Amino acid sequence: MTVFTKVILYTDTDGRAKFREETIALGEGSPKSMLSEVFESGGYQLRHSPVGFRSEFHCTTTPQWVFILGGQMEIGLQGGASRVFKPGDHFFSADVLPSGAAFDPAVHGHWSRQLGSEPLQTLFVRG
């Protein structure tokens, strides 16, 4: 079966943001154009981040797909791990603050930044 790999930024049981991957079956369509089921979405936003942009640690408020349209985006996690996303790459951002927790930038969330000489262009599609 043909599958799509979904990269997920999530909050683990220890409250820290981590990455994992899961597959989505592409069982519809034809052999020339395999499709997944149709998923609901809650709207979308476009973002332009200039050269030099970097956020502070934060949690995702509303789970959403992030698609890199131009430039490069680095996502950093607690402990120093990071991952770079280039045009055409994606991830599902779902590292929400654990229920009942007060945000602690030494424990929770992730940071993001623009890399390279081109501004970062992203598309956010709410899940």
Two tokens at 52? 């030099």
Quote the CA–CA distance of 51 and 78 in Å, as a whole number: 23
Average pLDDT value for the chain: 97
Q: How far is CA 9 from the centre of its chain?
A: 6
Share of the chain above pLDDT 90, in %: 98
Q: Is the pTM higher than 0.75? A: yes
How many separate domains does the chain show?
1
The CA dihedral of 54, 57, 91, 17, to the nearest 10 degrees, is 150
Which of 6, 10, 121 shows the shortest CA–CA distance to 59? Answer: 10
> Over the stretch 65-101, which tens digit does the pLDDT of each residue have?
999 999 999 999 999 999 999 999 999 999 999 999 9
Model confidence band, residue 59 (pLDDT cutoffs 50, 70, 90):
very high
Q: What is the CATH number of the domain that holds 21?
A: 2.60.120.10
Range of the domain at 53: 3-126
Phi, then psi, of 78 in degrees rounded to 5: -55, 145
pLDDT given at position 125: 98
Helix, strand counts (H, E) of the chain:
0, 11
